[in-house]
Structure formats: C-alpha cells, structure tokens
Amino acid sequence: MDDKIKEKQLEILKKRVRNIPDFPIPGIQFKDVTTLFDTGESLKMLSKVLVDEYRNKGITKVVGIESRGFIMGPIMALELNAGFVPIRKPGKLPADVFEEEYEKEYGIDKIQIHKDSLSPDDIVLIHDDLLATGGTMFAAYNMIKKMGVRKIYVNFIIELAELEGRKLFPENVDLTALIAFDL
C-alpha cells in the first residue's frame, strides 16, 4: 500500500475512535474502538491496514487477547491464511493450559492459552486493541515465548504512548501500533 494512502486511512480511522471520559473510573479517557467496526467501510479499511502490515511475514497463527483481540484477530487470521488462537482469562479454555500472571493497574490478573495451540514452527502475531501500560500483552508475549515459537510479532490498533507500555518489551520485539493518542 502506498504510504500516503495508508497515512490518510489511518487519519480517517483515528477520527472514528470515540473518547469516553471517566470510564471505567474518574480521570480515565477511554478510547473506544467499537466505532471502528460499526460500518462496513471502516471495518474494511481497518482490516486492510492491519493485514497489509503483516502480509509477507509468514504468519501461521494470530493470537487474540480476550476480549477485544477477538474482533480483529480472526479477520486478520483469515486474510493471512493463518490459524486463530485465543488467550483467555482463567477457567474459560477447556483443555490443558499454560498460564501467566501479571500486574494490572488494579491488582494481579492471569491469562491462559491452550498448551497445544502453538508449535516451534509457528510465526505468531499477537493482537489486541490497545497498548496502555502493557501488562496484559507483555504477559501474553512471555507466555508465547516460553512455548518456543519461531518468531513473535506484537500488534495493537491504538497506543497511548505517554503510558510507556512499549518499554516493557525487549528492543528486538517487532511491536506495531497503528494509531497513537496523547492522553
């Protein structure tokens, strides 16, 4: 895709993100991505921009983080001719799981992935909607890294750069966020 076209599309998408003040608690300016999915035109545009970023990287599995990573993750997997793997909260996956614990703004949390969902041959794209402090995605990255896959890419639709979630990841991690917002 031509860089000027991509830049214009990203600007259109950025304008469609809805800001919800004081959600989920007072003082937070929540970036609502659901407005990117509510028309066929914006969903198609978002899908194209996301997929074009990874089209020639040999992705074999797209891993989506519960719950908003379940929206674009399967679309990206389909377009990349890859499988889709969910990362879920404890107690939601029926087979044997690996688990990773991490700190959130409001306490400790855990995520899980099926033990048989990835292999050493896989090239993995981990997707979620938003990078803020980075705890959930960093836990997902660490869990998948322990599974011994060939390569891991990390992707977000939105990044809140001032919260510096990117700093959790080693410098060699290929981390992409389509849209950046200031707080």
Residues belonging to the active site: 68, 101
The H-assigned helical ranges of the chain are 3-16, 40-54, 69-79, 135-146
Residues ≥6 apart with Cβ < 8 Å to 154: 125, 126, 137, 141, 169, 173, 174, 175, 176
Q: How large is the angle between the packed helices 40-54 and 3-16, nearest 10 degrees?
A: 130
| Phi, psi angle pair for 117, to nearest 5° | -85, -20
Answer whether 166's CB lies under 8 Å from 138's CB.
no
Instruction: Return the closest-CA partner of residue 53 out of 120, 117, 127, 122.
Output: 127
Range list of H helices, 55-120: 69-79
Instruction: Tally Cβ neighbours within 10 Å of residue 103.
Output: 12
DSSP character for 47? H
